[in-house]
Every structure is written in structure tokens, then in C-alpha cells.
Amino acid sequence: MGLESSADGSESRFAAYVEAIASALGHADRGAPFRSYCAGLLLPGDRKSVEPMAARMQPGRVQAAHQSLHHFVAKSDWSDAAVLGAVRARVLPIIEQCGPIRAFIIDDTGMPKKGKHSVGVARQYCGQLGKQDNCQVAVSLSAANDHASLPIAYRLYLPHEWVDDPDRRAQAGVPDDVVFQTQPQIALDQLRAARAAGIDAAVVLADAGYGNDTDFRDGITELGLAYAVGIQSTTSLWPPGMEPLPPKPWSGRGRPTSAIRRDGAHQPISARQLALDLPKKAWRRVTWREGTNTKLASRFAAVRVRPAHRDYRRSTPRPEEWCLIEWPAGEPEPTKYFLSTLPEHITRRALVNATKLRWRIERDYQDLKQELGLGHYEGRGWRGFHHHATLCIAAYGYLLSERGAIPPSGPRNAVPIKEHPLPGGYRPRGSPYQA
């Protein structure tokens, strides 16, 4: 299979890792293709789709290896949740050797796709391209501390045009129990599953695509978790010292009203206006971590506010929480806004440090896409899409266990897998003919 022997025992560690995770696959005969698939993902190569990996792993029998790996990832009925649970059980303790899990990080990733037959593909916002285009979008949940993070859940977002089309669902093998859910709803399901599995963290982190959703924030609170999430500059807030007006006194006629209210002279303001109204002394320079070449620092203000979105439907004002605002020196106005239910007594530095830990999800996706081929799967089905992502996360878990949860700027251990030379004249399907 091409594992290099090594004095530091990396070969035996890889074998032990694969054996531990393979126990979650359900059948012993799935262990060999699992090992081959993970090895193929870890090896260098421009494409981490099935056929190029088969050629790198077994160049003497490419067709047979391709059929084996394709069946394993696209057809074989093993549980993604069980395999991710096995990865989590093995890797999180290694990460926690450098400190407890501090945060759950929620994000989504877009993978550009041509055509319309790959499961979930639709014209929607793709972060990789920075615009709307044909792509698949998946929602993930990572568990993180200051030293490393591990994706522990991953699920495809299925747009309405897929959910409501029985023919497309059948062709792609979408399970019958999959109904339409927004991305924040998928993320809340992932958080509930993580809590049910006994995973704990101090705070949930997410960008404004999730933080703008009031129901999402309320769902986090109902789970007993704090959050620090991005919001848009237009988000309506009651500034310090202000709150909605109490319900109108009952006049003795008609039904009493219990809804809090606002009037023409008593209105919430936008997060942007709140920031612009703050005095100069409200802004402080805060450093939160070491970057590649220098310490990362910016100016921040932190004030206690009450979110105001549709609170006129409530009988009581929303509780106070933090509004953290970043205004880098030299910028004409603030650039980022956050809401957080972290404790009232938290220091500004600690609030910034917790909020900025979200950068780790960007590192996850960078490695998963650039090193492990997360977006390279060429199949069209629901099962294969999720199996491939699970196997990428399993390979990523191995890399984390080998690195020993060291800082991102530290050295990386070599992957103990030998790359075989491709056979002469090998040409992947779909590539242009070369003499």
C-alpha cells in the first residue's frame, strides 16, 4: 500500500489511526478501501477525485482500484455520523492536551459546480468565488481551542428547487426524511447533536450570515450556550440606557395589550449609528494573537445593548448583551459588528479574543480544500458527497494528530505514505489527448 517505514513510528501511528476509525464502518471488508482512500487524500496531487487517487495508490491496477474506491465512497452504506464520531473520539483528546475546547465554530463552504445534476447544485452565493454562481453549499460545525480545530459535523444545504423536485431527489439518492432547512437551521441541528454527544464549549462563533438570524441566536441561547456572532451594520439595537416602551396601560375597554412598543420619538438605532455616536474614549486598541509576521491588533468598542429586531411582538425587552465593534485605524468607519452573550463582567480583551477565534474555521477549509481535495468529488449523489467529505475530515484528523496541535506557523510532520509513479501513458478520463 506504500507506507514508508520510519524511525519515529509514523507508519504504525497511521495504521493504528486507520484501524480505530475503520471500526465504525460496520464491515471489516471496508477497512482496505478506507485506508486507500485516506492515503490517496493525504498524498500530493492536483486532483483528489477517485480515479487519480486510484492511479497514485495502485498504478498497476488502476481500473480495479478505481472501481473499489468508487463503490466505497458512492455506494457503500456506512454511517457518516459513526465515522465522524470515531474521528472525534480519537482526535479531540489530542487537541485538548493543549487546553479545553473553547468554541463551537459554525460556517459554510461553497464548491463551484458545472451543470445541474450534482446533488444540491444551484445558483447561490459561493464564498470561494465571492459571488453568486452554480455551486454546492455545505454547513459545518467545528470544535476549537487556541491550538487547533476539528470539523465534527458536515451537511449539504439543499435549496427549495431540489427539496421540492421528486425526480431530482430520486436520481441523487436524497433520503426521504431530508426536508428544506435554512443554513442556520442546519447549524442548530448540528449544535444539538454535539451537545447530545457530550461535547461542551464556552461559546458559539459564526459570521453575519448566521448572526443576523434572530431565531438562530435564540436557538443557541435555548441550548444553554453563549454566542459571539457577526451582524450587519444595519441591525437595529437599543443603545445603552434605552429600551422599548412598556405596554400601553389598559383603558378598561377592549382586550389588554401586553406587547412592548416604540413610537415616533422612541426608536432603536442601527449598529452603525451606535458606533458613530460613541465618544472617542470608547475605542481601545486590542491585540488578540500572533499573526504570520506580526501581532494582530485593531481598535474596538464594547457596549451593552438590547437587540431590537421585531421586539414589538414581545411582552418584555430582550436581555442586554455585548455589541462589539471593530474600527481599524485609518478606516473611514467601522468594519465589523458582533453581538455576544458572553458574561457581562468579561474584559474587552477576552471578548475580542473569543470572537476572533473564528479564524480557525478558515484554516480548516483551507487545509480541507487545498491539501485534501474536499471540493474534488465528481459524483452526483447525496451519499457520495457526504462520504467524501467524511473521509476528508478523517484524513484531516490524522494530520492534526500528527501535528500534535501545534501553532499554524509551526512545522508539519511528513505524511508517512509513499507516492507511486503513475504508469506511462496514463491519462485521467476527460483530460485532453496528449501524444
Over residues 398-407, the pLDDT tens digits come to 999 988 534 4
**In the prediction, which pLDDT does 7 show?**
46
Contact (CB, 8 A) for 274 and 344: no
The grid cell for 167 is 425526480
**In the prediction, which pLDDT does 8 show?**
58
Residue 180 lies in a domain: yes
162, 281: one domain: no
Residue 219 lies in a domain: no
Query: Of 4, 9, 23, whose CA–CA distance to 90 is shortest?
Result: 23
According to DSSP, residue 244 is labeled P
175, 284: one domain: no
Host domain of residue 293 = 224-243+262-357
192, 317: one domain: no
391, 291: one domain: no
Contact (CB, 8 A) for 358 and 207: yes
Show Cβ contacts of residue 330 under 8 Å, excluding neighbours closer than 6 positions: none
Residue 308 lies in a domain: yes
Cα separation of 136 and 421, whole Å? 33
Amino acid at 327: W
78, 198: one domain: yes
Percent of the chain with pLDDT over 90: 69
**In the prediction, which pLDDT does 188 show?**
98
Q: Is the pLDDT of residue 355 over 60?
A: yes
**In the prediction, which pLDDT does 290 show?**
83
Task: Answer with the residue of higher pLDDT: 7 or 206.
Answer: 206
192, 302: one domain: no
Q: Which residue among 357, 376, 394 closes a domain?
A: 357
349, 378: one domain: no
Residue 430 lies in a domain: no
| pLDDT one-digit tens code per residue, 272-282 | 999 999 999 99
Q: Which residue among 326, 357, 388 closes a domain?
A: 357
Residue 321 lies in a domain: yes
Q: Is the pLDDT of residue 235 over 80?
A: yes
276, 335: one domain: yes
Burial class (CB in 10 A: 0-12, 13-18, 19+), 241: exposed
Residue 427 lies in a domain: no
141, 37: one domain: yes
Q: Is the pLDDT of residue 414 over 60?
A: no
Q: Which residue among 297, 325, 357 closes a domain?
A: 357
Cα separation of 77 and 21, whole Å? 16
Contact (CB, 8 A) for 101 and 408: no
Residue 179 lies in a domain: yes
Q: Please state the pTM of the whole predicted model.
A: 0.89
Residue 372 lies in a domain: yes
166, 30: one domain: yes
**In the prediction, which pLDDT does 254 show?**
65
- Mean pLDDT within 260-280: 93
Q: Which residue has cell 500572533?
A: 290
Cα separation of 362 and 15, whole Å? 29
The grid cell for 105 is 465554530
Q: Is the pLDDT of residue 420 over 80?
A: no
> DSSP states of 2-58 as a string?
-BPP-TTSHHHHHHHHHHHHHTTSSSGGGHHHHHHHHHHHHS--S--SHHHHHHHH-
295, 152: one domain: no
Structural domains of the chain, count:
2
Show Cβ contacts of residue 155 under 8 Å, excluding neighbours closer than 6 positions: 138, 139, 140, 186, 189, 190, 386
Contact (CB, 8 A) for 183 and 125: no
26, 161: one domain: yes
